[in-house]
Structure 1
Amino acid sequence: MSGSTQAALQAVIEHPLFLIGVTLAAYQTGLALYERSRLAIFHPIIVSVPIILVVLWALGFDYPTYYEAVLPLTILLGPTTVALAVPLYLNLRRIRQFLKPVVVTLVLGGLFATLSTFLIGWLMGAEPMILMTMAPKSLTTPIAMLVAEEIGGVVALAAVFVMITAVLGALLGPWLLRLFHITHPAAWGIAMGIVAHAVGTSRAMEEGEEAGAFAALGMSMMGLGSAVLLPLGVTLWTLWF
C-alpha cells in the first residue's frame, strides 16, 4: 500500500463520523439479513454487535473512544423511546379495555423480572455491585444506565446486560409465547415490552399495531416504575440491613 493511500485510509478512520458510519452500516447489514430470512437469529442487533466488535478490534479502537464517537446516536435513544408513545395514543381505547389485567401484569411481571435477577445473582455469589448493575436489565438503555448509576452499578456494564436481555427476549420470547399458546395481541405485546424493552417492542410491532402498542406500554411503565421504585427499594434495603 502506497504512502498516500495509507494516509488517506488513516484520515478516513480518524474522521469523527467514521464509527457512526460503521455502526449504521452494521445495523443495515443485519436489517437486510433479517428482512430476507425473517429468522430471529439474524435480528439486526444480534448481527450488528459482532460486526462492530470485529471492526473495533481490527482497527485498535477501545470502548471509551467508540462510546464518545457514537454519542449522537446514544442521545437519540431518548427521543426514539418517547416516539413509541404514538402507537399508545392510536390504541388508547383498546388499552383502556384491558386496564386491570395490564396493571396486574405490569406489577407481577416487573417484580418477577427484577427480584429474580437479585435472587439468581445472589445464589451464584455475585457481588453487590454486579447485582446493582444487573437489576435494571429489563429497562430500556437510557433508563437502565441512569438507574444503574443511581443504585451503585456500573453504567457501561449495565448497557451490556440490557443488550443481552434484549437479544434473548427477541430470540426466545416469541417461541415461548407460542409454546404456551399465547396469541392475543395485548398479552403478546405486554410480555415482550416488559421483558425485552425496546427490542421486544420492535419485535411485537411486527406482529401487529395492537401488539406493538401494548409492548410500548409495558416497556414505558416498566421503565417508569423501576426508575422510581428500584432506587427506593435499594435505599431501604441498605438502611435496614
Structure 2
Amino acid sequence: MNFEALINYINQTPLIWLILTLGAFKLGIIIYEKCNKHTLLQPIIVAYTIIMSVLFISGVSYEEYFKGVEIIHFFLGPATVALALPLYNNLKYIKSLFIPIMITLIVAGVFSIVIAVILLWALDAQLTTILSMTTKSITAPIAIITSEQIGAIPSLAVGFVIITGVIGALLGTSIFKLLKIKHDTSKGFALGLISHGIGTARAIEISEKAAAFSALAMGLSGIFTAIFLPLIIQFLKG
C-alpha cells in the first residue's frame, strides 16, 4: 500500500523527474571520477541506467517523464550553441579540410542510415520501427522533429538515439585503438557523426580539437538528415 502511494505521488509530481534526472547525472559524474573515468561508467550511462530503472519500476511512460524534464530539453539548444567556441578556435583548420569533411559527412551519413535500415528489414521489423531507426545518429531534439515528419515514432526514435550514442561512446575509444587512429580531428568527427551529443561529450575529454570536429559533425549531420531524410522518405513512399 505504501508503495502504491509512493507511485501515485511520483505521477502527480512532475518536478520529481527533474530532480531525479539532475541527481542521477550528478551521481554519474561522482562515480565516473571515483573510478578513474572508466569508459563503461560515463555519467550519461549511469544516469540513463538509474532513470530507466525508476521508470520501469514505477510504470511511468516516457511521455509522462518528458513532461517533467521539458526545461532540460529547452536548454539543449543553448548547450549545443555553446559548442561553437571550440569550433571558432579551430576555424582555420576546419576550412582547410572543408572538402574531406563534406565527403565524409555524405558518405558516412548515408551509409549509417542504409546499413541500419537493411539490418532491420532483414529482421522483418515494422515500417515505423525502421523509420524510427533512420534518425539514430542525430541529436535528440532534431530526431524528434524529423521522426514526426517521416511518420516514425518519436519516443522510439529517441530510444535509438540514446542507444546509438551510448554504444558509440563506449566502443569509440577501443575502435580508435584497434584501427590505430591517432588524429584527434578524425576521432572527434567520427564520434560527433555517429554518436551526436553523447559522442561529443566523450570527444571533449580527448581534446579541444576533437570537441570542435565532433560538434561540427553533429551539427552538419543533424542539418543534412533533417533536410534530406524527409524528402527521400516522401519520394520512396510516392
How is 1:86-235 mapped onto 2 (pairs within 5 angstroms)? 86-235=85-234
Using the alignment, how far apart are the partners of 1:11 and 1:159 within structure 2?
27
Using the alignment, how far apart are the partners of 2:39 and 2:197 within structure 1?
15
Map of 2:29 onto structure 1: 31
Using the alignment, how far apart are the partners of 2:213 and 2:118 within structure 1?
28
How far residue 127 of structure 1 moved from its aligned partner, in angstroms, is 1.5
Using the alignment, how far apart are the partners of 2:129 and 2:11 within structure 1?
35
SS in 2 for 1:137: coil
Structure 1: runs of 5+ lacking an equivalent: none
Amino acid at match of 2:181: I
How far residue 58 of structure 1 moved from its aligned partner, in angstroms, is 4.4
TM-score (norm 1): 0.91
How far residue 67 of structure 1 moved from its aligned partner, in angstroms, is 1.4
Aligned residues: 236
How far residue 89 of structure 1 moved from its aligned partner, in angstroms, is 1.3
Using the alignment, how far apart are the partners of 1:142 and 1:12 within structure 2?
26
Identity within the alignment, %:
38
Distance 1:8 1:50, change over 3 A: closer
Using the alignment, how far apart are the partners of 1:119 and 1:106 within structure 2?
20
Using the alignment, how far apart are the partners of 1:162 and 1:46 within structure 2?
13
Map of 1:22 onto structure 2: 20
Q: Which has the higher Rg, Structure 1 or Structure 2?
A: 1
SS in 2 for 1:136: coil
Report whether the alignment pairs 1:42 with 2:52: no
Using the alignment, how far apart are the partners of 1:232 and 1:83 within structure 2?
30
Map of 2:61 onto structure 1: 62
Structure 2: runs of 5+ lacking an equivalent: none
What is the CA RMSD across the aligned residues, in angstroms?
Answer: 2.3
Using the alignment, how far apart are the partners of 2:30 and 2:141 within structure 1?
26
Q: Deviations over 1:150-188 (max 9, x none)?
A: 101000111000000000000011110111011101111
TM-score (norm 2): 0.92
Using the alignment, how far apart are the partners of 1:104 and 1:216 within structure 2?
17
Give yes or no for contact 2:14–2:65 (8 Å, CA) kept in 1. no
Amino acid at match of 1:32: I
Distance 1:154 1:9, change over 3 A: closer
Using the alignment, how far apart are the partners of 1:53 and 1:131 within structure 2?
23
Distance 1:205 1:237, change over 3 A: same
Q: Deviations over 1:28-55 (max 9, x none)?
A: 1111111222111101121112211333
SS in 1 for 2:181: coil
SS in 1 for 2:110: helix
Using the alignment, how far apart are the partners of 2:145 and 2:113 within structure 1?
16
Amino acid at match of 1:54: S
